[in-house]
Amino acid sequence: MRVAALPLWTWLATVLALTFGGPGNDLVFGGAGVMGYAVLPFIAVGALPAAALLRRAARGSAV
């Protein structure tokens, strides 16, 4: 199961890395005020289906 979750963890690590400033102090996911939280729905939409499928497989349900 750990190997199956590797793409999800890699994707989440990439999203986390993109929230930090680069060498030019530029941000991929950033903004002022409410726009700073605009990335959260995209993270949820991207991560929840994979996490739900992995959780169902770990419980032993039919996929």
Distance in angstroms (rounded) separating the CA atoms of residues 7 and 59: 19
Distance in angstroms (rounded) separating the CA atoms of residues 35 and 52: 27
Q: What predicted TM-score, i.e. pTM, was given to this entire model?
A: 0.66
Per-residue model confidence as pLDDT tens digits over 11-32: 889 888 888 878 887 877 777 8
Number of structural domains in the chain: 1
> Is the residue at 49 inside a domain?
yes
> Is the residue at 1 inside a domain?
no
The DSSP letter of residue 29 is S
> Is the residue at 44 inside a domain?
yes
> Is the residue at 15 inside a domain?
yes
Domain that holds residue 17: 6-59
Q: What angle, 0 to 180 degrees and rounded to 10, lies between the N-to-C axes of helices 39-59 and 6-18?
A: 160
Per-residue model confidence as pLDDT tens digits over 28-53: 777 788 888 888 888 888 888 888 88
| Contact yes or no for 17/28 (Cβ under 8 A) | no
> Is the residue at 25 inside a domain?
yes
Residue 4 — pLDDT band, cuts 50, 70, 90? confident
